Chains A and B, each alone.
Chain A
């Protein structure tokens, strides 16, 4: 035992010596709602100093990135209350602030290089982000720490990118305490070797069980990188990695009750805290009820009023497990559909058929105060927008009466970039003030382009996904922070040709070519001879042909 303690102390000393200015910490917040759903938010933060090596720091440095956010998401049932990082739309969303003056190349070149680098890092098809689907929003991703006169913003989304274990593995490899031994291989200290094997499954990341987390109702894996420089040589890169998973013990269990445990939800336990953490690792648990439950497991949590959660502290090299058992474990499923968000966005398609269509965006403001929001809509070029059809109607939230807008509320600005086929998307950026307790509906119409048949995806009859609209809610007061909401992803079916047609055409044209070739070949090879009337005489067996020469009767 003494030996183990000595090793651990040695490890601490060794790590703090080797990671001179780098810090890292991780937290797991488990938030259960009355419907029984448990949202697990794994938050990891690292600060990488100039002298340290990290794949994302390399990328940030190499492409002149001030700030970058990338998320891989699956599912739509996100609980905004339970996640501090906000809800993300299905698929991949990427945006980056990039330095304008960079020694290597222009912003656009670096943007496509960045997407390729990230594609390699995360094993995802991010290389499908091209200028054709990238936008430069003007007022949607403004951030205080980035000087917008020195940097440029690029934004793109791939709504159809499916996230899977092949993305989770490289993502978790970026964590200092991950699931594989070789991550700590840089620790050369001999004394550390036994600890390295121990620490290989350390920290909250040891709960990552692909079978469990990909069966979740909502799964969002994100990376945020921001790079701050105090001087030309003194830069630190802040890397935040968040994994939000909404698990449903009610669906998972045959008993259909709210009781859960880490073992039940993830099929795993936490293998002690990560030894690289500077501050102690906490597991926070927020429950829907104030009483009528008991915690399972050896360690009992402490309630923290400030965090409004039960807090567990992880210990080094000590297996940890916990669970909750309710005295009345019947879930309140009706709570699932109730939303408490003040501002909500909902977007859907209108119309039918494959020629025309429309989009309706409903933004409701339940706040009593008016709120200013910016709506960003990036639509692919094959959705041909008609801006004259853009309409706004504002209703009262309960009486459904149409409100006539006046005063400050009318304040509305619209920035529009028309699409260029195969070159850039349409971008609408609309800043508007929503009156208190109101629903504002924006509608516009479009035509569906008839695209080349090679531009259709292999499953052409499914349609094209269009990325979520982004609603940036600007702060109403100084204490508030700006935040973003993402709307639904839409599936737009374009006029689709019958793909078996080319094969018919090939067979047809082959036949025609064969016939033509036969005739021409015949003509070329055949010997032409002079007209001899005698040859044209009627054969004895051609009884139905009248006796005559070529040019009339003889």
Chain B
């Protein structure tokens, strides 16, 4: 019996010691390989761009079997096409559209939108009509929308005509299970938003926008298709499908896949977006000149596609009007007609476009629930290649995971009464038990002087927030050249971190003798930074990756005290380069003054009129932490 007890004691002791040893080893491992995690993340991002990783072909990727993509019989005939000359004048256009919708027997009405910009109030008119599903209870609906101005700034004349043809054609059938709402919106994104908000009961959603109420309602809008076919061409070359929404939110992956499947069943070529960006095209052309072989070029094209997808998602700017749908839980994409300048053999005519739309609508119609299969989190580098969250989330999280580990490590190091070594138990040979040092118990508190680090971080947050409020309240300041603005911001950030030093000295007289102060400040900043980036990674993974890529290595290299002033300055500059100021500088270098300004104006427009939060998040949640790291370098 005695031997049993002694064995039990022995195994317990063994277990405790094993656990401690494992923890110590894990900590050591994290300190050693922690920084490597970011490298793994980066390698992961590079790897997922390879075409062997992604899932191929849209029909394989549609999870919702009830959609029956491209399997319904569709009947749209050439004689159903109605081509009108759509007036460019807003009032005349609204009158014509309303008249047409009414003559098709739809419950139709107009909605007026008054938008005040400065002292000027503009009036826009949205026209909408509802095809009531004959035998349904009118609780669900599908939205078909067409904005007057397409995302490439052309007038959506054909788009309007196609929708109008469908508005006359669809009521001929009784197989519709959902109401179909036709919306012809005016006034750009704010016009579409005004209609959506008013439909959901929000007549006063913005101080500068007034709307008249919606008179007719269908049911809950579940799916949507936004249609952009600019100009009056008889034919188009390709259909571009737009996926990414406002703030990087996306529709269920089944929606673009279904639209693409419908298009392919009528031999309509489809692609993701209208065309590759200029920068992307330059990169591809450059690599092509190097004659690297087919497989390398395949990879380059995939990587460029992925980089474009991620950069669009990161900025969160709407690419087209479907971008506004996710907020209202509407799953929708934009399909846009693309006419290449040089092409002479365009084949997609009005009938084929309408057949594609009809087939997609039939798929929506077959679905008697909300879309809940498949993913809302995915990346695409072409309409054929699809990366679900399982593939990309690990690299994105790895990029900033080390911040959390480091924060823990620094937190354990940041106690100033007893060191970890002092706490280690000794083995009593006689009793054959582990013995704690005197005064040490399970209830021992390890005091950490957290007051100062918390004060610094919160002051950084409030300082940046005040600057942000000031900048957004006086947007006229933004009219100055971007280089000047960038200079102001950089100087301000640098000055604040330098000026914080004397204030810091009031509390920390001898920074060398108080290492726990900077360790705790760094721990706090790292944990906040890790929390911010990891939270963003679930909402907008591209933005998280974009922010983590420069700041994590910069912080690893630079966020530590130094006595040498030159080293200090270098480290501060490195951190500054990885902060939003540096990112802005990069944007200015890459796109030039006019390009960068265009992007910024767009971002500003999105932020002010459409509730974009990407820039707000970068400025208010990310920037203060960069500042705190700079203060750490300057002050200790």
Contacts and interface: CB of A to CB of B under 8 A. Distances in A.
Interface in A204-218: 214-217
Interface in A355-414: 358, 360, 400
17 contacts: A75-B134, A77-B132, A214-B135, A215-B134, A215-B135, A216-B135, A219-B135, A334-B103, A334-B105, A350-B202, A443-B201, A459-B368, A462-B370, A463-B370, A489-B139, A496-B372, A552-B432
A462 B136 contact: no
A268 interface: no
Interface residues of B, number: 46
B102 interface: yes
B135 A74 contact: yes
Nearest to B66: A459
A333 interface: yes
A159 B137 contact: yes
B137 A351 contact: no
A352 B217 contact: no
A338 to B, nearest CB: 9
Give me the 6 closest cross-chain CB pairs, A-B, nearest first. A350-B201, A530-B3, A333-B105, A90-B137, A491-B139, A461-B369
B106 interface: yes
Interface stretch (B4-12, B233-241, B381-389): B4-12
B459 interface: no
Contacts of B173: 251
Contact of A531 (B7, B171, B201, B202): B7
Given A351-B201, A353-B329, A463 B220 contact: yes
A550 B13 contact: yes
Interface string A458-494: 0111110100000000000000000000001111010
Interface string A74-92: 1111000000000001110
A104 interface: no
Given A337-B108, A459-B369, A463-B370, A550 B10 contact: yes
A552 B201 contact: no
Interface in A488-504: 488-491, 493, 496
B206 interface: no
A551 interface: yes
Interface string A192-230: 000000000000000000000011110100000000000
Nearest to B427: A552
Given A35-B105, A337-B106, A551-B13, A528 B369 contact: no
A337 B107 contact: yes
Given A91-B137, A462-B369, A491-B219, A349 B105 contact: no
Nearest to A353: B329
Given A488-B217, A552-B429, A217 B105 contact: no
A333 B217 contact: no
B137 A550 contact: no
A466 to B, nearest CB: 9
Contacts of B140: 491
Contacts of B327: 352
Contacts of A180: none
Interface in B53-100: none
Given A462-B369, A488-B138, 19 more contacts: A74-B137, A91-B137, A215-B135, A215-B174, A217-B135, A333-B102, A333-B104, A334-B102, A336-B106, A349-B200, A352-B329, A353-B329, A460-B369, A461-B369, A490-B139, A491-B219, A530-B4, A531-B3, A550-B11
A346 interface: yes
Interface of A is mostly: loop
B514 interface: no
A415 interface: no
Contacts of B138: 76, 90, 488-489
Contacts of B369: 459-462
A537 interface: no
B488 interface: no
A348 interface: yes
Contacts of A337: 102, 105-108, 216
Interface string A319-358: 0000000000000011011000000001011111110001
Contacts of B216: 337
A302 B219 CA distance: 44
Given A462-B369, A530-B7, A349 B220 contact: yes
Interface in B127-155: 132, 134-140
A459 B201 CA distance: 27
Contacts of B201: 348-351, 358, 360, 443
B563 interface: no
Interface string A526-554: 00111100000000000000000011100
A454 to B, nearest CB: 18
Contacts of A333: 102-105
Nearest to B197: A352
B421 interface: no
B608 interface: no
B92 to A, nearest CB: 19
Contacts of A353: 329
Q: Tell me which of A216, A333, A531 has the highest count of chain B C-beta atoms within 10 A of its own C-beta.
A: A531
A251 to B, nearest CB: 6
Given A333-B103, A350-B200, A551-B10, A76 B137 contact: yes
A551 B427 contact: yes
Contacts of A74: 135, 137
Contact of A217 (B134, B200, B368, B371): B134
B32 interface: no
B328 interface: yes
A219 B136 CA distance: 11
Given A491-B219, A491-B220, A75 B135 contact: yes
Nearest to B371: A461
Interface in B148-178: 171-174
A459 to B, nearest CB: 5
A461 B372 contact: yes
Contacts of A459: 368-369
Contacts of B4: 528, 530
Contacts of A360: 201
B220 to A, nearest CB: 5
Nearest to A90: B137
Nearest to B140: A491
A226 B169 CA distance: 46
A251 B172 CA distance: 5
B167 to A, nearest CB: 11
A199 to B, nearest CB: 32
A461 B370 contact: yes
A352 B6 contact: no
Interface in B175-208: 200-202
B217 A348 contact: yes
Interface string B412-441: 000000000000000101001000000000
B232 interface: no
A529 B3 CA distance: 8
B14 interface: yes
A358, A443, A490, most chain B CB atoms within 10 A? A490
Contacts of B139: 463, 465, 488-491
A333 B99 CA distance: 11
A551 B105 CA distance: 90
A461 B64 CA distance: 13
A35 B505 CA distance: 85
B301 to A, nearest CB: 36
Nearest to B200: A352
Interface string B550-561: 000000000000
A545 to B, nearest CB: 12
B181 to A, nearest CB: 13
Contacts of A90: 136-138
A354 B372 CA distance: 14
Contacts of B135: 74-75, 214-217, 219
B132 A76 contact: yes
Contacts of B372: 461, 496
Contacts of A443: 201
